[in-house]
Amino acid sequence: MTIKAVLFDFSGTLFRIEPTESWLRAVLTEAGVALSEPKLTLAAEALERAGAQAGGALPAEAPAGELGDLWAVRDHSAERHRAAYTGLSRQVRLPDPALHDALYDRHMAPRAWSPYPDAAEVLAGLRERGVAVGVVSNIGWDLRPVFRVHDLDPYVGAYVLSYEHSLQKPDRRLFALACEALGVDARDTLMVGDDRRADGGAAALGCGVHFVDHLPVDRRPDGLRPVLDLIG
């Protein structure tokens, strides 16, 4: 297999969202809401169990009822994505109801995301080898500003975001759109992601697939480097 293009997932692959407690603390500070340290810690733990932070932990218990139905298609549109995550957040009592939307807004801020330590090195290495790069993400908002702020946008030739197409991985059509945008055949393309079900859907199109571990940034310093070895 001659790899002419590499598709990357976003969250847990190239970037990692800030820890739940930092996320909550930043929103409380910006809103001018005071919360004791013990209460802040408890609220952060509850939000994490609820799966309220997009890009963070999945819900400890699968959402049920209308919220469960919404959760299943959350990445199909910006409206569904916000409704699903604020719905999970609202399961946790916070000092001000407006904080739930503020938490959602915070998770879209470029400063809430950190690239993995080897992301720039690997993307630059692919460019040097003449390999095209695309980003294929299940998401409900425009992540391009995150790449621009962290100086990774110049390496990306195409962004295929689920909410812009009303499709979500593992639907093979999303990967096909990325290959088409890059002008490559799926059989010459490698998909790199952290979700075996969602990102593994690229295999149905004929892409190669490589998985990385969704770990905190400081615990995965070189998880992307094997991609360069696969390219040769």
- Per domain, the residue ranges of the chain are 5-16+113-231, 17-111
- In this prediction, residue 66 has a pLDDT band, given cuts at 50, 70 and 90, of very high
- In this prediction, residue 68 has a pLDDT band, given cuts at 50, 70 and 90, of very high
In sign, the C-alpha dihedral spanning 30, 146, 54, 166 is positive
Which secondary-structure segment (H or E) carries 151?
A: none
Separation of alpha carbons 69 and 181, rounded Å: 31
Just give the CATH number of 5-16+113-231: 3.40.50.1000
Residue 129: its pLDDT value, please?
97
With a cut of 90, say whether residue 1 has pLDDT above it.
no
How far, CA to CA in Å, does 197 sit from each of 99, 101, 124, 171, 186? 32, 29, 28, 10, 18
Task: State pLDDT tens for residues 92-144.
Answer: 999 999 999 999 999 999 999 999 999 999 999 999 999 999 999 999 999 99
Structure tokens at 197: 């079900």
Residue 92: its pLDDT value, please?
98
Residue type, 226: P
- In this prediction, residue 59 has a pLDDT band, given cuts at 50, 70 and 90, of very high
171 or 1, higher pLDDT: 171
Structure tokens at 75: 């990445």
- In this prediction, residue 40 has a pLDDT band, given cuts at 50, 70 and 90, of very high
Q: Tell me the whole-structure pTM to 2 decimals.
A: 0.97
Query: Residues 123, 98: contact at Cβ < 8 Å?
Result: no
Share in percent of the chain as helix, strand, coil (round to 5): 50, 15, 40
Buried b (16+ CB within 10 A) or exposed e, 136-155: bbbbbbebeebbeebebeeb
Q: What percentage of the chain exceeds 90 in pLDDT? A: 98
Residue 232: its pLDDT value, please?
75
Region 159-175 average pLDDT: 98
Q: Which residues pair with 115 in a beta bridge?
A: 15
